């Protein structure tokens, strides 16, 4: 027989889900309503021929193509830096660390997760100034500094989701491979990680979204309004979050504001693309792990 408290929790859960779905639908619907008319080839490439822009024959000055490339590069570099360190740290905390060390690291990552992004941006700017002054005159705020700072920003998400996902695996599953003669390392890579892929990928997806949308960090560490396609990881770059911020704060007419809405839709599409890639990779890894077992 269902208890009243269970019924109440079910009702509240449904209400919360409907409110969340309504909020997301309202935001996306508003963006589509405002910006769908601005989604044109000229929004991305401006007056430059798309073929010339794609093959980097000509620079795009009045479109968001450089910002799209910069956003892709920023997300890939940031996640590429953060994922190996985050996965290794989460595995260590879950499977190897003792209680005292685990408490220290858990507190450290909790503090890191609560640091405002603008503070990490200031740290990155200070790091760039220090490197420029003491090590190399050719190092400035750039794509590399921004990606390192964003990796530092999203690292707690990956560490925590990896650790929690591994710790929530049932004890029976943990001991099965060990009882059959597998080593601890084999148990981690062939049993525990495949079983916790959903949680790990959730952390990676959160980090992708945070890297793609953050503006405070990149404003201080290398993004500019008209840098063009980045020539290297040590050069300035453009990014869609900064473009949207720049347009929405300094637009001179309605057309420019609509371009900002259009850029927001493009940014959502890029995030959705990365999310799709993450889900495909998760499913492939899960399939191969099951096939090996």
Digit-coded pLDDT (tens) for 29-66 = 888 888 888 888 888 888 888 888 888 888 888 888 89
pTM of this structure:
0.84
CATH of the domain at 109: 1.10.3720.10
Residue 228, sorted as left (phi over 0), alpha (psi -120 to 50) or beta, turns out to be left
Q: Does 121 map to a domain?
A: yes
The Cα-based distances of 34 to 104, 204, 254, 257 in angstroms read: 48, 30, 11, 9
Kindly give the parts of the chain with pLDDT less than 70.
1-2, 285-293
What are φ and ψ of residue 220, in 5° steps? -100, -5
Q: What is the DSSP letter of 117?
A: H
Which positions ≥6 away from 252 have C-beta within 8 Å? Answer: none
Please tell me the predicted confidence (pLDDT) of residue 149: 92
Q: Does 246 map to a domain?
A: yes
> From the CB of residue 251, how many other CB atoms can be counted at a distance below 10 Å?
14
Q: Does 26 map to a domain?
A: no
Q: Does 282 map to a domain?
A: yes
Q: Does 156 map to a domain?
A: yes
Query: What tokens were used for 140?
Result: 């400035």
Which positions ≥6 away from 78 have C-beta within 8 Å? Answer: 146, 147, 148, 150, 151, 154, 207, 211
Q: Which domain holds residue 264?
A: 65-292
Which of 271, 87, 110 is CA-nearest to residue 188? 87
Please tell me the predicted confidence (pLDDT) of residue 292: 54
Please tell me the predicted confidence (pLDDT) of residue 146: 92
Between helix 240-250 and helix 65-95 the angle, nearest 10°, is 130
> From the CB of residue 221, how many other CB atoms can be counted at a distance below 10 Å?
27
Q: Does 223 map to a domain?
A: yes
Map tokens 């208890």 to a residue.
3
Q: Does 4 map to a domain?
A: no
Q: Does 244 map to a domain?
A: yes
Please tell me the predicted confidence (pLDDT) of residue 151: 92
Please tell me the predicted confidence (pLDDT) of residue 77: 93
The Cα-based distances of 181 to 91, 184, 186 in angstroms read: 21, 9, 10
Q: What is the number of structural domains in the chain? A: 1
Tens-digit pLDDT profile for residues 226-245: 778 888 888 888 898 888 88
Please tell me the predicted confidence (pLDDT) of residue 19: 94
């Amino acid at each position: 027989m269902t208890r009243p408290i269970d019924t109440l929790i079910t009702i509240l859960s449904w209400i919360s889900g409907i409110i969340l779905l309504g909020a997301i639908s309202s935001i996306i619907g508003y963006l589509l309503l405002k910006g769908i008319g601005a989604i044109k080839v000229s929004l991305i490439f401006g007056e430059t021929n798309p073929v010339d822009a794609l093959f980097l024959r000509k620079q795009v000055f009045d479109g968001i193509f450089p910002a799209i490339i910069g956003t892709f590069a920023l997300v890939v570099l940031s996640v590429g830096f953060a994922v190996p360190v985050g996965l290794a740290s989460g595995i260590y905390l879950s499977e190897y660390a003792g209680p005292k060390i685990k408490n220290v690291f858990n507190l450290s990552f909790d503090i890191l997760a609560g640091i405002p992004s603008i503070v990490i941006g200031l740290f990155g700017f200070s790091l760039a100034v220090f490197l420029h002054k003491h090590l190399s005159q050719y190092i400035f705020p750039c794509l590399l500094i921004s990606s390192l700072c964003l990796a530092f920003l999203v690292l707690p998400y990956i560490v925590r989701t990896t650790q929690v996902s591994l710790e929530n695996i049932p004890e029976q599953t943990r001991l099965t491979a060990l009882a059959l003669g597998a080593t601890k390392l084999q148990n981690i890579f062939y049993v525990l990680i495949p079983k916790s892929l959903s949680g790990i990928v959730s952390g990676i997806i959160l980090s992708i979204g945070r890297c793609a949308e953050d503006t405070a960090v990149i404003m201080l560490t290398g993004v500019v309004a008209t840098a063009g396609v980045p020539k290297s990881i040590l050069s300035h770059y453009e990014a869609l979050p900064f473009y949207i911020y720049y347009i929405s704060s300094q637009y001179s007419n309605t057309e420019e504001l609509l371009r900002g809405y259009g850029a927001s839709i493009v940014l959502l599409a890029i995030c959705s693309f990365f999310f799709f890639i993450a889900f495909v990779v998760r499913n492939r890894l899960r399939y191969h792990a099951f096939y090996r077992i």
